[in-house]
Structure 1
Amino acid sequence: MDWLEFEKEAAAKGYKAVCGVDEAGRGPLAGPVCAAAVILPENTIIEGVNDSKKLSEKKREALFDVIKEQALSYSIAFASVEEIEEMNILNATMLAMKRAVEELDVKADYAMIDGNRLPNLDIDSEFIIKGDAKSMSIACASILAKVSRDRLLYKYAEEFPEYSFDKHKGYGTKVHVEALKKYGPCKYHRLSFLTKILNK
């Protein structure tokens, strides 16, 4: 498998600053959605990088700093719980991705987006389904987004220990659902995601 296939295709079309973009946190019941954008130097493969879901937390944490050091440019952005509630999770995810691309300190001229939809960008872009398992740039972005969001949920766990955010990162596990039924939601919960849980 060629981890740089999509990067090379974009370069062959004349693009000079190709970024990979991915998100973390669309499915959880709590916390913001996080997106990252990464521009790697040409022909760069970072040893050990893979789709963040296939890596252990320890491995992701180790790669986080390596990716930041080796990237030409990277950016990490969020869409808040309030924005998720206001515009729905899909639109909030697109907003976080747009922010990540626009906040790169090297302006990208092409974006490769993980998934099957494109955020509203002012540069050329393509979506790549399962891109985090096909493109080095997107896989790097997936790691930055996942680690950044997980670190935030650890902070939430210190503030609201009763929900065990450090264990499930806001996902709807049995422990999390039981805590919601016992304590009700906190300010970090996405209320629109909880209607079925709290109405039972």
Structure 2
Amino acid sequence: MTRTTVSVVVLVVLAVLALWGMRAGWLARRRRSADVVPTLPVAPADLGATRLGPLDAVYVSTTRAGDWLDRVSAHDLGVRSPAVVEVHDAGVTITRTGATDVFVPASTLRAAGTAPGIAGKVVGGDGVVVVTWQPDPDDPRGLDTGLRPRHAADRTRLVDALTGLVTAGATAAAAPTDHAPGAPGQDATPGTAGQEEKP
């Protein structure tokens, strides 16, 4: 073989090894992230009132909360894709093209804001809306999901809608519950108020 042929063969082998290494790394990350997110939440049949949307956006990626380079690969969460985002009373639906849809229940939402980027996309400024949520109650760290709305004005609208959902959930969780039967301030037996006990 000529020197040129040898060089080409070596380059091809190196390229194949690099691709194999990248694939092996991706599969390993996918296995690790499957432990973090064993299953995705399922959207209920009744999503309640629509608070915002539909909005055209790009689903960028999902990472471990607080580390925007630690991409989560399980369930297509690491796959960038076109998406349509809607905010409902029950949560956030992210309908994706070419990847698994994502539903973020309102009860799992922790925060929403903007950032210059997340794994898979860096745009600077406040170009990416970051949704922080906790699908697994046993995992206090939670996840960050990055969305880039097509229209800049939709970024603020989306953050406001998500923040309103977080606030509504916190208010509902803090609301007082009904007294238990026999508790102070409630009669143990309905209809006996003001009646004396018969001997």
TM tier relative to shorter chain = under 0.3
More strand by share: 2
TM-score, with normalisation over the residues of structure 2? 0.26
Looking at both structures, which has the greater relative contact order when contacts are Cα pairs under 8 Å and sequence separation is at least 6? 1
TM-score, with normalisation over the residues of structure 1? 0.26
Report which of the two structures shows the higher radius of gyration computed on alpha carbons: 2
